[in-house]
Amino acid sequence: MRLAIGFLLGSFLLAQEPYSYYRAGAAADVTTKGRGGCVLMGGSTDVAEAFAWMIERSGNGDFLVLRATGTDAYNPFVLKQGRANSAATLIVRTREAAADPVVVEKVRRAEAIFLAGGDQWNYIRLWKGTPLAAALQERIDAGAPVGGTSAGLAVLGQYYFSAEFDTITSAEAEADPANKKITLGKNFVRVPHLEDVITDSHFSERKREGRLAIFVGRIGGPDILGLGVDEKTAVLLDTDGRGRVVGKAGAHVYRNGRPPRSFPSGAELLLRKPRE
Protein backbone atom coordinates (compact mmCIF):
# COMPACT_ATOMS: atom_id res chain seq x y z
CA MET A 1 0.00 0.00 0.00
CA ARG A 2 2.78 2.44 0.90
CA LEU A 3 4.51 1.71 -2.38
CA ALA A 4 1.28 2.37 -4.28
CA ILE A 5 0.69 5.63 -2.43
CA GLY A 6 4.29 6.67 -3.01
CA PHE A 7 4.02 5.91 -6.70
CA LEU A 8 0.82 7.92 -7.02
CA LEU A 9 2.29 10.85 -5.10
CA GLY A 10 5.43 10.78 -7.21
CA SER A 11 3.37 10.72 -10.40
CA PHE A 12 1.30 13.68 -9.17
CA LEU A 13 4.38 15.71 -8.30
CA LEU A 14 5.97 14.89 -11.65
CA ALA A 15 2.85 16.08 -13.44
CA GLN A 16 3.10 19.39 -11.59
CA GLU A 17 6.69 20.10 -12.60
CA PRO A 18 6.90 23.41 -14.51
CA TYR A 19 8.99 21.76 -17.20
CA SER A 20 10.38 18.35 -18.16
CA TYR A 21 13.31 17.50 -20.41
CA TYR A 22 14.02 14.13 -22.01
CA ARG A 23 16.96 13.38 -24.27
CA ALA A 24 18.00 10.43 -26.44
CA GLY A 25 21.06 9.95 -28.61
CA ALA A 26 24.40 11.59 -27.87
CA ALA A 27 24.76 13.12 -24.42
CA ALA A 28 27.01 15.94 -25.63
CA ASP A 29 25.74 18.72 -27.87
CA VAL A 30 27.26 19.49 -31.24
CA THR A 31 27.32 22.80 -33.06
CA THR A 32 26.34 22.70 -36.72
CA LYS A 33 25.38 25.29 -39.31
CA GLY A 34 21.76 25.02 -40.36
CA ARG A 35 20.25 25.85 -43.75
CA GLY A 36 16.90 27.12 -42.51
CA GLY A 37 13.53 26.08 -43.84
CA CYS A 38 10.20 25.29 -42.27
CA VAL A 39 7.97 22.20 -42.06
CA LEU A 40 4.24 22.94 -42.13
CA MET A 41 2.51 19.70 -41.13
CA GLY A 42 -1.23 19.08 -41.07
CA GLY A 43 -1.60 16.73 -38.11
CA SER A 44 -2.47 13.07 -37.50
CA THR A 45 0.29 10.60 -38.49
CA ASP A 46 3.63 12.37 -38.75
CA VAL A 47 5.34 12.61 -42.14
CA ALA A 48 8.71 10.87 -41.80
CA GLU A 49 10.13 12.59 -44.88
CA ALA A 50 9.60 15.98 -43.26
CA PHE A 51 11.65 15.03 -40.19
CA ALA A 52 14.43 13.63 -42.38
CA TRP A 53 14.41 16.95 -44.27
CA MET A 54 14.72 18.94 -41.05
CA ILE A 55 17.52 16.75 -39.73
CA GLU A 56 19.51 17.07 -42.94
CA ARG A 57 19.02 20.84 -43.05
CA SER A 58 20.15 21.10 -39.42
CA GLY A 59 23.52 19.59 -40.36
CA ASN A 60 22.61 16.49 -38.32
CA GLY A 61 22.59 18.55 -35.16
CA ASP A 62 20.55 18.36 -31.96
CA PHE A 63 16.81 18.08 -32.65
CA LEU A 64 14.41 19.56 -30.10
CA VAL A 65 10.65 18.94 -29.82
CA LEU A 66 8.82 21.68 -27.94
CA ARG A 67 5.44 21.06 -26.33
CA ALA A 68 3.26 22.20 -23.43
CA THR A 69 1.74 18.78 -22.69
CA GLY A 70 2.41 15.19 -23.68
CA THR A 71 5.35 12.81 -23.58
CA ASP A 72 8.77 12.20 -25.08
CA ALA A 73 7.43 9.75 -27.69
CA TYR A 74 8.96 11.78 -30.52
CA ASN A 75 12.54 11.08 -29.42
CA PRO A 76 12.97 7.53 -30.80
CA PHE A 77 10.92 8.42 -33.88
CA VAL A 78 13.18 11.36 -34.74
CA LEU A 79 16.35 9.33 -34.32
CA LYS A 80 15.06 6.79 -36.85
CA GLN A 81 14.58 9.44 -39.55
CA GLY A 82 18.19 10.54 -39.98
CA ARG A 83 21.57 11.07 -38.36
CA ALA A 84 20.61 13.66 -35.75
CA ASN A 85 23.18 13.94 -32.98
CA SER A 86 20.36 13.79 -30.44
CA ALA A 87 16.61 14.06 -30.10
CA ALA A 88 15.11 15.77 -27.08
CA THR A 89 11.67 16.78 -25.87
CA LEU A 90 11.15 19.87 -23.73
CA ILE A 91 7.69 20.16 -22.14
CA VAL A 92 7.15 23.71 -20.84
CA ARG A 93 3.97 23.98 -18.77
CA THR A 94 4.07 27.50 -17.26
CA ARG A 95 5.10 31.04 -18.17
CA GLU A 96 7.56 30.95 -15.29
CA ALA A 97 9.22 27.89 -16.81
CA ALA A 98 9.35 29.69 -20.17
CA ALA A 99 11.61 32.26 -18.47
CA ASP A 100 13.81 29.70 -16.70
CA PRO A 101 17.45 30.05 -17.88
CA VAL A 102 17.81 26.27 -18.09
CA VAL A 103 14.80 26.01 -20.41
CA VAL A 104 15.97 28.92 -22.55
CA GLU A 105 19.45 27.41 -22.90
CA LYS A 106 17.99 24.09 -24.11
CA VAL A 107 16.27 25.98 -26.92
CA ARG A 108 19.37 28.00 -27.77
CA ARG A 109 21.45 24.84 -28.16
CA ALA A 110 19.07 23.16 -30.62
CA GLU A 111 19.87 22.95 -34.34
CA ALA A 112 16.30 21.99 -35.33
CA ILE A 113 13.08 22.77 -33.44
CA PHE A 114 9.66 21.18 -33.93
CA LEU A 115 6.44 22.27 -32.20
CA ALA A 116 4.22 19.29 -31.43
CA GLY A 117 0.44 19.16 -31.64
CA GLY A 118 -1.93 19.82 -28.77
CA ASP A 119 -3.68 23.12 -28.07
CA GLN A 120 -2.23 26.26 -29.64
CA TRP A 121 -3.76 28.41 -26.93
CA ASN A 122 -1.30 26.76 -24.51
CA TYR A 123 1.60 27.90 -26.68
CA ILE A 124 0.26 31.42 -26.96
CA ARG A 125 -0.73 31.97 -23.33
CA LEU A 126 2.31 30.21 -21.85
CA TRP A 127 5.12 31.10 -24.26
CA LYS A 128 4.35 34.21 -26.33
CA GLY A 129 6.51 37.15 -25.29
CA THR A 130 8.72 35.04 -23.00
CA PRO A 131 12.46 34.35 -23.11
CA LEU A 132 11.63 30.93 -24.55
CA ALA A 133 9.89 32.57 -27.51
CA ALA A 134 12.83 34.95 -27.92
CA ALA A 135 15.27 32.02 -27.96
CA LEU A 136 13.11 30.23 -30.53
CA GLN A 137 13.21 33.34 -32.72
CA GLU A 138 16.98 33.57 -32.30
CA ARG A 139 17.38 30.03 -33.60
CA ILE A 140 15.09 30.68 -36.58
CA ASP A 141 17.04 33.84 -37.42
CA ALA A 142 20.31 31.87 -37.14
CA GLY A 143 19.18 29.34 -39.73
CA ALA A 144 17.87 26.48 -37.63
CA PRO A 145 15.04 24.67 -39.45
CA VAL A 146 11.73 24.89 -37.61
CA GLY A 147 8.46 23.04 -37.97
CA GLY A 148 5.15 22.23 -36.39
CA THR A 149 2.15 19.97 -36.68
CA SER A 150 -1.50 20.68 -35.85
CA ALA A 151 -1.34 23.19 -32.97
CA GLY A 152 2.35 23.66 -33.72
CA LEU A 153 1.50 24.53 -37.31
CA ALA A 154 -1.16 26.99 -36.14
CA VAL A 155 1.37 29.39 -34.59
CA LEU A 156 4.01 29.46 -37.35
CA GLY A 157 2.37 32.00 -39.65
CA GLN A 158 2.44 35.73 -38.95
CA TYR A 159 -1.28 35.40 -38.14
CA TYR A 160 -2.88 32.63 -36.11
CA PHE A 161 -6.20 31.33 -34.85
CA SER A 162 -5.59 31.11 -31.10
CA ALA A 163 -8.51 28.82 -30.11
CA GLU A 164 -8.73 30.83 -26.88
CA PHE A 165 -12.44 30.02 -26.63
CA ASP A 166 -12.11 26.54 -28.13
CA THR A 167 -12.22 25.58 -31.78
CA ILE A 168 -14.81 26.71 -34.32
CA THR A 169 -16.29 24.80 -37.24
CA SER A 170 -16.72 26.08 -40.76
CA ALA A 171 -20.49 26.06 -40.31
CA GLU A 172 -20.23 28.22 -37.17
CA ALA A 173 -17.78 30.66 -38.77
CA GLU A 174 -19.79 31.02 -41.97
CA ALA A 175 -23.03 31.53 -40.05
CA ASP A 176 -21.46 34.31 -37.97
CA PRO A 177 -18.13 35.73 -39.21
CA ALA A 178 -18.08 37.95 -36.09
CA ASN A 179 -18.36 34.96 -33.74
CA LYS A 180 -16.42 35.59 -30.53
CA LYS A 181 -14.76 32.19 -30.94
CA ILE A 182 -12.85 33.52 -33.96
CA THR A 183 -9.86 34.72 -31.96
CA LEU A 184 -7.11 35.86 -34.30
CA GLY A 185 -3.67 37.09 -33.29
CA LYS A 186 -0.27 37.70 -34.82
CA ASN A 187 3.48 37.48 -34.35
CA PHE A 188 4.05 34.43 -32.17
CA VAL A 189 7.21 33.94 -34.21
CA ARG A 190 8.59 35.36 -37.47
CA VAL A 191 9.35 32.67 -40.04
CA PRO A 192 10.72 33.79 -43.43
CA HIS A 193 8.07 33.74 -46.17
CA LEU A 194 5.22 33.26 -43.69
CA GLU A 195 4.56 36.99 -43.46
CA ASP A 196 0.86 37.71 -44.18
CA VAL A 197 0.10 33.97 -43.78
CA ILE A 198 -2.38 32.18 -41.52
CA THR A 199 -2.32 28.38 -41.39
CA ASP A 200 -4.85 25.66 -40.63
CA SER A 201 -4.43 21.92 -40.07
CA HIS A 202 -6.55 18.74 -40.35
CA PHE A 203 -7.88 20.69 -43.27
CA SER A 204 -9.96 18.54 -45.62
CA GLU A 205 -10.62 15.88 -43.00
CA ARG A 206 -12.36 18.32 -40.65
CA LYS A 207 -13.87 20.39 -43.47
CA ARG A 208 -12.09 23.59 -42.49
CA GLU A 209 -12.32 25.26 -45.90
CA GLY A 210 -15.09 27.63 -44.81
CA ARG A 211 -13.46 28.76 -41.60
CA LEU A 212 -10.09 29.45 -43.27
CA ALA A 213 -11.85 31.62 -45.84
CA ILE A 214 -13.49 33.53 -42.96
CA PHE A 215 -10.14 33.90 -41.16
CA VAL A 216 -8.54 35.33 -44.30
CA GLY A 217 -11.48 37.67 -44.82
CA ARG A 218 -11.41 38.84 -41.20
CA ILE A 219 -7.71 39.73 -41.44
CA GLY A 220 -8.37 41.46 -44.76
CA GLY A 221 -6.20 42.70 -47.60
CA PRO A 222 -5.10 41.27 -50.95
CA ASP A 223 -1.78 39.96 -49.64
CA ILE A 224 -3.19 37.73 -46.89
CA LEU A 225 -2.75 34.05 -47.66
CA GLY A 226 -4.46 31.17 -45.90
CA LEU A 227 -2.63 27.84 -46.06
CA GLY A 228 -4.59 24.72 -45.15
CA VAL A 229 -2.66 21.45 -44.81
CA ASP A 230 -4.32 18.05 -44.82
CA GLU A 231 -3.58 15.29 -42.32
CA LYS A 232 -0.55 13.04 -42.93
CA THR A 233 0.79 15.80 -45.18
CA ALA A 234 3.44 18.51 -44.92
CA VAL A 235 4.76 21.47 -46.90
CA LEU A 236 8.54 21.70 -46.90
CA LEU A 237 9.23 25.43 -47.18
CA ASP A 238 12.70 26.28 -48.46
CA THR A 239 14.54 29.53 -47.78
CA ASP A 240 13.68 30.83 -51.27
CA GLY A 241 9.97 30.75 -50.43
CA ARG A 242 9.23 27.66 -52.50
CA GLY A 243 7.29 24.87 -50.85
CA ARG A 244 6.99 21.20 -51.78
CA VAL A 245 4.02 19.11 -50.67
CA VAL A 246 4.87 15.67 -49.28
CA GLY A 247 2.79 12.95 -47.66
CA LYS A 248 -0.61 11.46 -48.31
CA ALA A 249 -2.85 14.37 -49.36
CA GLY A 250 -2.51 18.05 -50.22
CA ALA A 251 -2.20 21.70 -49.29
CA HIS A 252 -4.71 24.44 -50.09
CA VAL A 253 -4.23 28.17 -50.63
CA TYR A 254 -6.90 30.81 -49.93
CA ARG A 255 -6.71 34.50 -50.78
CA ASN A 256 -9.25 37.30 -50.65
CA GLY A 257 -11.00 37.81 -53.96
CA ARG A 258 -9.54 34.72 -55.63
CA PRO A 259 -10.70 31.11 -55.93
CA PRO A 260 -8.89 28.64 -53.67
CA ARG A 261 -6.14 26.48 -55.14
CA SER A 262 -5.16 22.95 -54.15
CA PHE A 263 -1.72 21.36 -54.46
CA PRO A 264 -1.41 17.55 -54.26
CA SER A 265 1.52 15.64 -52.83
CA GLY A 266 4.56 16.20 -55.04
CA ALA A 267 3.44 19.65 -56.19
CA GLU A 268 5.31 22.89 -55.59
CA LEU A 269 3.82 26.16 -54.43
CA LEU A 270 5.26 29.60 -53.90
CA LEU A 271 4.83 31.42 -50.60
CA ARG A 272 7.07 34.37 -51.37
CA LYS A 273 5.73 37.20 -53.51
CA PRO A 274 4.59 36.93 -56.24
CA ARG A 275 2.52 34.08 -54.85
CA GLU A 276 1.01 31.18 -56.75
Q: Is residue 4 part of a domain?
A: no
**Domain assignment present for 262:** yes
pLDDT of residue 15: 53
Q: Count the alpha carbons within 13 Å of 28 in the hemisphere toward its beta carbon.
A: 2
Q: Look up the domain containing 252 and give its range.
A: 18-23+35-270
Closest by alpha carbon to 106, among 140, 85, 132? 132
Residue 257 located in a structural domain: yes
CA torsion through residues 239, 241, 244, 247, sign: positive
Residue 7: inside a domain: no
Domain count, the chain: 1
Residue 228 located in a structural domain = yes
Q: Are 89 and 74 in contact (CB under 8 A)?
A: yes
- Do the Cβ atoms of 68 and 93 come closer than 8 Å? yes
Residue ranges of the chain with per-residue pLDDT less than 50: 1-13, 275-276
Q: CA-to-CA distance for 176 and 159, rounded, in angstroms?
A: 20
Return the number of other C-beta atoms located less than 10 Å from residue 90's C-beta. Answer: 22
Got the DSSP string for 147-202?
EEETHHHHTTSSEEE--TT----HHHHHH-TT-TT--EEE-S---TT-TTEEEESS
CB 74 within 8 A of CB 114: yes
In a domain, 230, yes or no: yes
Contact 164, 120 (CB under 8 A): no
Whole-structure pTM value: 0.93
Q: What is the CATH number of the domain that holds 158?
A: 3.40.50.880
Whether 5 is covered by a domain: the verdict is no
The verdict on residue 210 lying in a domain is: yes
